[in-house]
Amino acid sequence: MAFVESFLARRSVLIGLGGTIAATTAVIVSPLRTVAALTARDLVRRQPTLRSLLLSLADAGYDEWLDQVGTIFTIGGGAGLKLVAVEAFNTQGTRPMRLARSSAFVAKFDVQNGGTLAGDLIYTASHPRYGAFRIFLSASPDPRLPYRMTALFN
């Protein structure tokens, strides 16, 4: 009887120890996973053949969007949008590790050929290097810029 109780006590200790190790590992590895994913994305985006197959601008960060300033995006219906600016938000404090981007930013587009678009809608945009993705666009609040559209990325 003492042998069985001793065996069960050891088994309980081992199970508890294993659970503690698993929980500790999960807490330590979780922030590193985000860093590793961002590093891997940066390496892939530098490879033109892999970029269009593996990456989407829908998930891209500030630097990746900044590299695209001046390019023309096509949206459903054939309208063209030129990316004219990417502006980072001045954020204070630390961002939650679960966010895919290291900083929030706004992308500013100008509708080409004197056109306008309805704001606060999700459009399917196509980029020549990254392919198609969905994007939420808002119209400019400035009446002097009726052709300006913005997209917020957090």
Contact 109, 97 (CB under 8 A): no
Contact 106, 86 (CB under 8 A): yes
Whole-prediction pTM: 0.66
Q: Rounded CA gap, 52 and 112, in Å?
A: 24
Q: Which residues contact 68 (CB under 8 A, 6 or more apart)?
A: 57, 83, 86, 127
Reported confidence tier of residue 146, pLDDT bands at 50, 70, 90: very high
Output the average pLDDT for the chain: 77
Contact 103, 88 (CB under 8 A): yes
One-letter amino acid of 10: R
Domain ranges of the chain: 1-55, 56-153
